[in-house]
Amino acid sequence: MVLAHLDDPPRPRWPGILIGLAIALPIAGLFVAWVIPTLVNSVLGGARDLDSRLRAEDGYMQSLCSAAFDEPRDGGLCGCVLGTEYPSLDCQLPFRKWTLARQVDACTDAAAREGAKSFCACVDVIAQKAAAATPEARDAEIANYENCTVLPDALYLPTVDVLMSGG
């Protein structure tokens, strides 16, 4: 067996290793330089978007409860908002209920309904399902309101100034 290697010696492995490294290193460099930062930025960008949305909701709820408070309209929401440091995290369910009620009111206006047909239809369906649901399932139905907010004709919540004037 040893004599057979004398007639046909094994080839050196270095050329194959060098060719493999020449191909693999640029691909790995591209992966490290482009793919990993893209993934990190997408995760961090999503977190920044969520953080800015939550801060905006915090500001809206706090200014609503301090400047435009109306007991029959805002009592359930402001009872939670004024008792917590981060209402957008701690008061999501009361805020969703309050928001759904405001959007149902907004969609009763014929001009608003005409400009936001799909949004108002979505809000109406969710409000009807929430009203017909059992108390245990009602919160899950109200949480579906988030699906309406991504529609292209979605209505914005009324500003605090509008709510202060009784709107």
Q: What are 87-141's pLDDT values in tens digits? A: 999 999 999 999 999 999 999 999 999 999 999 999 999 999 999 999 889 999 9
Q: What's the one-letter identity of residue 76?
A: G
What's the DSSP call for residue 84? Answer: -
What pLDDT is stored for residue 167 in this prediction? 62
CA of residue 164 relative to chain centroid, distance: 28
What pLDDT is stored for residue 80 in this prediction? 92
Cα(37)–Cα(32) distance, integer angstroms: 8
pLDDT, mean over the chain = 88
Q: How confident is the model at residue 164 (pLDDT cuts 50, 70, 90)?
A: confident
Cα(116)–Cα(59) distance, integer angstroms: 26
For 151, phi and psi rounded to 5 degrees? -70, 145
Name residue, tokens 């206006």.
109
Both structure tokens of 110: 């014929």
41-63 tens-digit pLDDT: 888 877 788 888 899 999 999 99
Residue 144 lies in a domain: yes
Q: Check if the beta carbon of residue 127 is closer than 8 Å to that of residue 104.
A: yes
Average of pLDDT values for 21-35?
90
Name residue, tokens 């200014």.
63
pLDDT of 3 strictly over 60? no
What pLDDT is stored for residue 100 in this prediction? 94
Q: How many domains does the chain have?
A: 1
User: Could you tell me what percent of the chain has a pLDDT over 70?
Assistant: 94
Q: Is 9 helix (H, G, I), strand (E, B) or coil?
A: coil
| Structural domain span for residue 118 | 23-164
Kindly report the pTM of this predicted structure.
Answer: 0.71
Per the model's pLDDT, the better-predicted residue between 8 and 123 turns out to be 123
What pLDDT is stored for residue 142 in this prediction? 93
Residue 18 lies in a domain: no
Q: Check if the beta carbon of residue 70 is closer than 8 Å to that of residue 163.
A: yes
What pLDDT is stored for residue 5 in this prediction? 63
